[in-house]
Amino acid sequence: MRDFYGVTLNSPLMLGTAQYPSPAVLEAAFRKSAASVATVSLRREGGQGQAFWDIIRGLGVHVLPNTAGCYSAREAITTAHMAREVFETNWIKLEVIGHADTLQPDPFGLLKATEALAADGFEVFPYTTEDQVLAARLLQAGAKVLMPWGAPIGSGLGLNNRYGLKTLRAAFPEVPMVIDAGLGLPSHAADAMEMGFDAVLLNTAVAQAGDPVGMARAFALAAQAGALAHAADPMTPRDMASPSTPVVGKAWL
């Protein structure tokens, strides 16, 4: 697995911390998932206080603060600085939302905020689209990780643009990439990992499942299976049947 700003993760699964039925369920889901990263919103920390932060620290995972809910570069930059003080990390999942209905990233604000934060010592994880031009600009601005969306946040639609994601992965083979948002089923996570992505990040699909703990375990296994499949160099699809049994030794009647 590629490293993320010098950190090698022991699991390709990253989990969000919102919308769980209770703090106890959140903690149990993380334990069962063996997730390596917890994404945390500064606004959520401000609302739940020290008890919530104690739970996150007790998980023993890397914390990735995010700028969720920010609609301008200025707002995201300010939130990132506050998050660095609260969570004591240079990591920041940078979200600059451009569309209220789809929660699609604002490419202009995202690029502006990435440049400013990278110059200020932040290790930026930009939530972006599968656009290759934007990806190149984000990397030039100082990001060393990309987090393209699979589908709109919370939609559970999976990988909406497989062609775009595959070509993005192929265009920047050495850049760590995380599929972020839109995954609804464990098979979506396996699919992303089979395509060569380095990790998946999700929240709603686990937190809002009938059994969040069981679903967390399912996503963990799926992500690991997808990573193993990619490493094993899977066969390519064929247009025609190809028999697995040889004709040598066949009885000719």
Q: Where are the domains of the chain?
A: 9-232
Asked whether the predicted pLDDT for residue 43 surpasses 70, the reply is no
List residues forming the annotated binding site. 154, 181-182, 203-204
Going by the annotation, the residues of the binding site for 1-deoxy-D-xylulose 5-phosphate are 154, 181-182, 203-204
* pLDDT tens digits, one per residue of 141-178: 999 999 999 999 999 999 999 999 999 999 999 999 99
pLDDT exceeds 80 at position 46: no
The beta strand positions in 17-133, using DSSP E, are 37-41, 62-66, 91-94, 123-128
Candidates 3.30.420.40, 3.20.20.70, 3.50.50.60, 2.40.50.1020; correct CATH number of 9-232? 3.20.20.70
| 45 — pLDDT class (breaks 50, 70, 90) | low
**CB-based contacts of 48-54 (< 8 A; 24+ apart in sequence):** 51/23, 52/17, 52/23
Q: What is the pTM of this model?
A: 0.91
pLDDT in tens, 88-120: 999 999 999 998 888 899 999 999 999 999 999
Average pLDDT, the chain: 92
pLDDT of 52 = 80
DSSP string, 173-242: TTS-BEEES---SHHHHHHHHHTT-SEEEESHHHHTSSSHHHHHHHHHHHHHHHHHHHHT-PPPP-SS--
The predicted structure's pLDDT at residue 242: 81
pLDDT at 198 exceeding the cut of 70 = yes
- What pLDDT does 162 receive? 95
**Does the annotation count 250 as an active-site position?**
no
Dihedral sign, Cα of residue 127, residue 153, residue 130, residue 227: positive
Q: Which among 93, 112, 166, 250 is annotated as catalytic? A: 93
Please report the pLDDT score of residue 50 as a whole number: 73
